[in-house]
Amino acid sequence: MSLFERLENDFKEALKARDDRRVSILRMLKAAIKNREIEKGASLSDEEIYGVLSSFVKRARESIDQFSKGGRTDLAEKEREELRIIQAYLPEQLSEEELKGMVREVIEEVGASGMGDLGRVMKVIMPRVKGRADGRMVNTIVKEVLQGG
């Protein structure tokens, strides 16, 4: 079953269960995927759908951070719930150690020697971890390893 079919089935189940919050989130995801398909002019692969979902995860994390700083714990909790629902459709996230191992492999592969090679390393690593790691965390780990960490 494709990822989009899984979203569709879960959407139908949420409708039947009258789970309004879940219905709302899944409807938003389906609309974003459909919009991307219209832009592309073709159906999206699961990898491309992971990209769409990852953008929602990133937005939710930023919102949680902003709401927490602003003292709006009620809104931060809503975003956390949204984040949990969306992450259920993403592949299992890489641990920090797995990510460091992949970063070291890429650094060796591209022959990176310092911070000046950050862009080259990021260009190679990001497609490999798409949907399985947060971009900010990847960037932090790449910098750490390039600086001798």
Kindly report, residue by residue over 78-134, the tens digit of the pLDDT.
999 999 999 898 888 888 888 899 999 988 888 878 888 888 889 989 888 877 887
Domain boundary (87, 109, 127) is at 87
Identify whether the C-beta of residue 31 lies closer than 8 Å to the C-beta of residue 8.
no
75 contacts: CB under 8 Å, gap ≥ 6: 63, 67
134 or 64: whose pLDDT is higher? 64
> How far is Cα of residue 108 from the mean position of the Cα atoms in its chain?
26
User: In this structure, are 23 and 46 located in the same domain?
Assistant: yes
Domain boundary among 66, 87, 108: 87
Same domain, 80 and 19: yes
State the Cα–Cα distance between residues 5 and 80, nearest whole angstrom: 24
What the block records as the tokens of 68 is: 């927490």
Q: How far is CA 23 from the centre of its chain?
A: 20
Which pLDDT belongs to residue 149? 60
- Other C-beta atoms closer than 10 Å to the C-beta of 2 total 12
Single out the residue in 64, 87, 110 at which a domain terminates.
87
Q: What is the CATH number of the domain that holds 120?
A: 1.10.10.410
Confidence (pTM): 0.73
Return the pLDDT at 133. Answer: 82
Domain hosting residue 124, numbered range: 96-146
